[in-house]
Structure 1
Amino acid sequence: MAEPFRLVVASDIHYAGPAEKARQDYESRAVGNPVLRLALRWYRHYIWLRDPLSHTHMLDRFLGAAPDADLAVVNGDYTCDSAFVGVCDDAAAESARLCFAKLRQRFGDRLAITWGDHELGKFSLLGGAGGLRLASYERLRGEFGLEPLWSRELGPWVLLGVVSTLIALPVYLPEALPEERSRWEELRREHLAAITAACDRLQPDQRLLLFCHDPTALPFLAEEPAVQRVLPQLDTTVIGHLHTPLVLKQSRLLAGMPRITFLGNAVRRFSTALRRARLWKPFRVRLCPSLTGCQLLKDGGFLTAELDPAGRGAARWRFHPLPW
């Protein structure tokens, strides 16, 4: 009997190089309102992540614990994005460069890299600083040599990685500079065309694994006829972005909630995603948490999967915790 194909998947590494580590308390300093600043510090301290710049060692722990695999997939967010503008910020670019070097040293050409939202930039949680930057897109394509869409085949299995920020651009576009918005819309059209072409190439006897960082993109993907046609062949969609299963559970409970526009951009973005979260179901979503998880539960880790070489059975997934 043929051996199964083996995958290892990590997401939301949020590596901090020396320049980003020097930006202590960067998120709170972006909030001008003292009440909101206090609320953010409480949330960070007890719930989300007390010091996001102090978990760089978790990448080395993952690399030491990860088994050999036919393919390693990393599913977005490689820096702390401490300037909130993605990798056009030199400090964030340094973090990404160091992170990718470690990943490539371990996995070589058996590595597939999916873009996350923090590679391109986004508004800070409560401060409204930063946002999407075309310079970050161009740096990812140029200096880092990363394609927005990647595809690999393992026997009958087709693995496809997409850029969630481009797909969900109607949600993210208010965070772009006005003079860059038309170019972002053009890039979105190009990316959707590439996804359509990849779906059209899928043969009837092939199985599909989709890698999409932010599940906000999934309802937009569901509108694409080519994606609709291949959903019966889709085994799993691996998402990141949420960091912890706790958020995924709450997202399912709050699916369908109304869109909230008067409490700031972060709430607008999150409520927009939740309003359409019921449309995630056909994508057979599986969360890959961040390496650290959240402060409250310390529930981070990574995934492995075994794929039937004949493509007859479902992918067999396993979660590997990384306690801290």
Structure 2
Amino acid sequence: MKAISYSRYGSADVMEYGDRPDPKVGPDSVLVKVRAASVNPVDWKAREGYLQSGLEAVFPVIPGWDVSGVVVQPGLAVDEFAVGDEVIGYVREDFLSRGTFAEYVAAPVRTLARKPLSLSFEEAAGLPLTGLTAYQVLHRTLRIREGETVLVHAAAGGVGSMAVQLARHAGCRVIGTAGPHNHDHVRQLGAEPVEYGEGLTDRLRALAPEGIDAAFDTVGGDALKASADTLTPDGRLASVADSEVFSYGGKYAFVRPDTADLTHLAELAEQGIVRVHVDRVFPLELAADAYRLNEEGRTRGKIIVAVEWES
């Protein structure tokens, strides 16, 4: 099969397009013909070696955890899916090696859910990691409640935009940090936009003088400090980007594959409650360029790699 892979840590320049062995299907997995995969910041951070302490790389590594595609072969013990089923998945193992930037991926059934019929394969590929991260942080880590004020950083990005929609669906007031060029987009998602950067703490206090009930950090650094400085006395803080969150009494979160959660998100997408904004689509052979664009940190929504490319 054709795939993107890398054999050493480094920049996007280490990524190569070429032939890799077809994956073998275990008894509790299905072989998925990949239609699309999405780029996430954690992918290139792993490629550059920042996650070595927690995720061992077994080279060569095929990157990517998000997928949408079609089941072509169920494992011997699988009765949840059949040939022809359209699926989405957050296909993460506890090591780096067998990712989704390929023509096929062997996906454990615990990582999959049925694809929302109303979404294209490209849109559906952008749902799993961002949706699961937002859902699990908001509802498991921060335990948001109706009527609360929730702060979401990078509200126009993949995880941030999903968090805004989910928090609004939960009945919360949402404040979202974003650059001025994305403020209209953040409003459309349902949040009150605020510009990040110097003076953020003062701007947040002006918007929420009684304080923030729950803050979701996806950026780290100064954004994390501003979050901590504007919480209510009982406010909660979580980060997916900066372990310094512990020093502020908050929690660090790392998304887990979960079929039930992913199925719920697919249902919300089917109902139009959450939407996936696709910023740009690349063909598989240009995946390195997709990563370079993502590394600039100015994406609105998701960057997608289509394995079956239609120009």
TM-score (norm 1): 0.27
Greater helix content:
1
Greater strand content:
2
